[in-house]
Structure 1
């Protein structure tokens, strides 16, 4: 556990729970905001093994914690441990933001979809999701949040593909008739006529295999965005840009998904701007 000698009811503490957690940029992100706004509070990394998750969560409110972010591998597990689960977290099947209420109950939410849309709105303000189909590559936990947010934003059709087709089929079963599943071998065809294209896999990330989806069908003017942000300019975004697409990198999703939690925990709505990007990338 974390040493919290200064913890008191007047000094809110939050953190990020994961295993492992050393790679997380969340402490740098929230630490920047705390310093920038002159807020007395703490945000700490919390390495928690899966078998200790329930015990740790129950202890945290008694230690002065007001909430936490949740990352791999705990985002699904926390739903069963929370007392209150928002509709969107239940629909996505994962939570990334916890609020410890004064009565001791744990409130679980998912702000990934919010962060995804807010990032696009900030960097592509002329994006109109209803103009045509969206195409999502991948069907993991992050993809589920993207699918939910795109459908809520008004896309008329959502095309999805995944190397393991059954995961894409599960998303169609849960999210309805607007979702159309494509075989992985047909992923390139899925992009034809798409107004919005999203890489929601880890392919293209540093240390991961490249994204090998043909992009020939990408039309100039299409919005292309990647959830990967290491590197910021993935090969997918580079090729999309070369084809005349409007591109949005994945870092902003990380930054924007953090704002609702920070506001609830520390009482101030933080700003996502270039200064924050530089701080998190430093």
Structure 2
């Protein structure tokens, strides 16, 4: 049996490191391959999964939305988000689509800051792309309805708010075009953009007006400690890197493909870190 990942470009994906680690640890005879394919090839590729003995796929940028129309069944979470990141070939040979990004984000938050729900103050999200959509959905699902959203494009931000309002009518997401204003009375900040990632511009931000003992979560994981997280640590905030989200979102995929429960260990995280350091 084979599993793998589709996307483009994906040669630097960490997913093979994670899945191969678990295969070895749990003595599972399988392989995890990278399939870098063009958009026009997706439909024909998915039709031949069974004959290629491919049991499951991860889906990454830019195909998370593209694959939805090609699947037989898509779970509600993935439909709400308009994004599938995991495909399973069922025993009936039908293709099932899931989104595990929301699980990965919230699982890592609960592990890294177990008392986050008790914090007074606002939740502020930076960005209005696919990651932001998953993160906001995660908070709304946890009944955290009051959220501030900052994004450079107002139209894109308002479109995201409108989409979430349809799914959660009681939600109260306020758009801010001024980041400083969005951080007033903020106790939990999540950066859902690529700003601060290796090769990308830095995120221009001042955290001083955030509440004491705040939480700052950056979904970027290369570098592991971004400039944003450095600033958070200087203020003695809880600083959460993006690697944990990536690792934890892989858990449900692996378990559904191989019918085996797995754990996120220090050894697994170190294996991922070693790979990241080799890339730098």
Q: TM-score range by the shorter chain?
A: over 0.9
Residue in 2 that maps onto 1:7: none
SS for the counterpart of 1:128 is: helix
**How much does 1:132 deviate?**
3.5
Q: TM-score, normalised by structure 2?
A: 0.93
SS for the counterpart of 2:34 is: strand
SS for the counterpart of 1:221 is: coil
Q: Pick from 196, 200, 207: which aligns with 1:204?
A: 196
**How much does 1:215 deviate?**
2.2
CA contact (8 A) 2:139 2:145 kept: no
Residue in 2 that maps onto 1:89: 78
Residue in 1 that maps onto 2:174: 180
Q: Pick from 92, 110, 113: which aligns with 1:121?
A: 110
Q: Deviations over 1:15-72 (max 9, x none)?
A: 0111111110100110000001111111111111111011111111221111100001
Q: TM-score, normalised by structure 1?
A: 0.92
Q: Pick from 228, 234, 243: which aligns with 1:251?
A: 243
Cα distance change of structure 1 residues 171 and 102 upon mapping to structure 2, 3 Å threshold:
same
SS for the counterpart of 1:99 is: strand
Q: Pick from 22, 30, 34: which aligns with 1:41?
A: 30
Q: Pick from 224, 227, 231: which aligns with 2:219?
A: 227
Cα distance change of structure 1 residues 130 and 123 upon mapping to structure 2, 3 Å threshold:
closer
Q: Pick from 92, 95, 119: which aligns with 1:106?
A: 95
CA contact (8 A) 1:75 1:96 kept: yes
Q: What is the count of residue pairs matched by the alignment?
A: 269
Residue in 1 that maps onto 2:187: 195
CA contact (8 A) 2:198 2:222 kept: yes
RMSD between aligned residues? 1.2
Structure 1, gaps ≥5 residues long: 1-11
Task: Summarize the alignment of residues 16-55 of structure 1 with structure 2, pairs less than 5 Å apart.
Answer: 16-55=5-44
Q: Deviations over 1:251-273 (max 9, x none)?
A: 00000000001001011121112
CA contact (8 A) 1:132 1:156 kept: no
Cα distance change of structure 1 residues 203 and 99 upon mapping to structure 2, 3 Å threshold:
same
CA distance in 1, matches of 2:123, 2:106: 13
Q: Does 1:139 align with 2:128?
A: yes
CA distance in 1, matches of 2:150, 2:72: 34
Residue in 1 that maps onto 2:256: 264
SS for the counterpart of 2:222 is: coil
CA contact (8 A) 2:84 2:99 kept: yes
The range that moved more, 28-37 or 267-276, is 267-276
